[in-house]
Structure 1
């Protein structure tokens, strides 16, 4: 059977098979060599993800351990507890513990599968004020970039202590001038270019860990490489 790459995450994962989505790009990139299995749950944090983990993974491997599972949570965990999305908030220490538990459980289930953590993305607070979540009449964002950064650092720390590969998309996106509007359509969810950045990072990380799923040579450069100095030019080309 063809190798499987399972994507387990929140709404940024759930919508990733949409037009220009990062999962759709992965499916196209690996169209002749691997299958992309979507397990995205809009609104979920790591606490809820842990509760549904077994059901979410049921059937994901089609009888064989997946080649890799990408675990992409944190955007909802990092919601501010005193705002409209506060019910999604998970304290930082619990977030770290939940990530460990998710990866540990999956590793026990599939010991040959590579687990890849993805940090929560940056937050454009102005964009969140313009696109409020729920009944948010405070005029304040329900998420902040500073808090999202703290959760991103915690995700990286969990990966390092567990010996797991990690994609620090929070830091990566910050390397591009004007990332707020380039990559985030509503201050949280990705634009087509934001999706392109994450697609690039996933493919690179798979290569870094020696998991080449492409039929093309491993050392061949990606067609979609993004130039931080001029991302729009790269994207348009």
Structure 2
């Protein structure tokens, strides 16, 4: 069975298979070597993700013949960082609980699949003007339900967890803000990604996977490439 990479996260992951999405780009990049499996849930935070983890990745699947995923991205925090006194308060998770939940999610994955490469991705930065123009639901306060400062605190916590657990991490919060005009160039509504933002995530994920030994150069294709098939005897390529 072809190996797989699992993308686990919130709406930024759920939307990643859309046009120009970073998940679709990953699937295309690894099209002959790895199946990219989408497990993205719009609006979810780490509390909810931890609650559903057993349902998503039941123990029975460990012995289903498919083997452990080569890698899993864990991309939560944008919803956890919603401010507790504004319109998306129901999604808020306190910072220390966020850290503990990430620890628990990583522990869960490693218990299921000890060899799986876990890649944390921090929440992206927040364009507060974009959030005011594209609020989720009613926003009577007239204030953004997320701030870049809060997102940065959760990004820092995510990086700390990666260090404590010995797993890879992409500091998307910092990386994205290095892009000129990132607020509108990388984010379409102050939170979700544009094509440029998706490209940035894709490139970062590919780089981290490569650093972990997962790249087109190291992963075998599952069947002979066309260039390796002899036109005079095509079926010979399939005899091994």
| TM score, norm. by length of structure 2 | 0.87
Pick the aligned partner of 1:65 from 49, 64, 68: 68
CA contact (8 A) 2:155 2:173 kept: yes
The equivalent residue for 2:229 is: none
State the 4+ residue runs in structure 1 displaced beyond 4 angstroms.
58-62
Partners of 1:62 and 1:164 in 2: how far apart? 26
The equivalent residue for 1:54 is: 54
**52-61 or 106-115: bigger deviation:** 52-61
The equivalent residue for 2:129 is: 126
Question: How many residues get paired?
Answer: 216
Partners of 2:150 and 2:211 in 1: how far apart? 29
Cα deviation, residue 176, structure 1? 1.0
Partners of 1:43 and 1:49 in 2: how far apart? 10
Residues 1:146 and 2:149 are matched in the alignment: yes
CA contact (8 A) 1:3 1:67 kept: yes
Task: List alignment gaps of at least 5 residues for structure 2.
Answer: 220-240
Q: Deviations over 1:35-83 (max 9, x none)?
A: 1000001110000000000112246986310000100000000000011
Q: Deviations over 1:109-141 (max 9, x none)?
A: 101111110000000000000001111121110
Partners of 2:81 and 2:209 in 1: how far apart? 27
Partners of 1:197 and 1:36 in 2: how far apart? 18
The equivalent residue for 1:189 is: 192
Pick the aligned partner of 1:158 from 161, 164, 168: 161
CA contact (8 A) 2:3 2:66 kept: no
Cα deviation, residue 163, structure 1? 0.7
Task: List alignment gaps of at least 5 residues for structure 1.
Answer: 218-237
Cα deviation, residue 209, structure 1? 1.5
Partners of 1:7 and 1:42 in 2: how far apart? 13
Cα deviation, residue 216, structure 1? 8.1
**Helix, strand or coil at the partner of 2:69:** coil
Residues 1:205 and 2:208 are matched in the alignment: yes
The equivalent residue for 1:11 is: 11
| TM score, norm. by length of structure 1 | 0.88
Cα deviation, residue 161, structure 1? 1.1
Change in 2 beyond 3 A, CA 1:96/1:33: same
Cα deviation, residue 215, structure 1? 5.0
CA contact (8 A) 2:8 2:74 kept: yes
TM-align CA RMSD: 1.5
Pick the aligned partner of 1:137 from 135, 140, 148: 140
**Helix, strand or coil at the partner of 1:52:** helix
Q: Deviations over 1:3-42 (max 9, x none)?
A: 2110000000011100010000001111111110000011
CA contact (8 A) 1:32 1:215 kept: no
Change in 2 beyond 3 A, CA 1:175/1:66: same
Map of 1:34-53 to 2, 5 A cutoff? 34-53=34-53
**Helix, strand or coil at the partner of 2:136:** coil
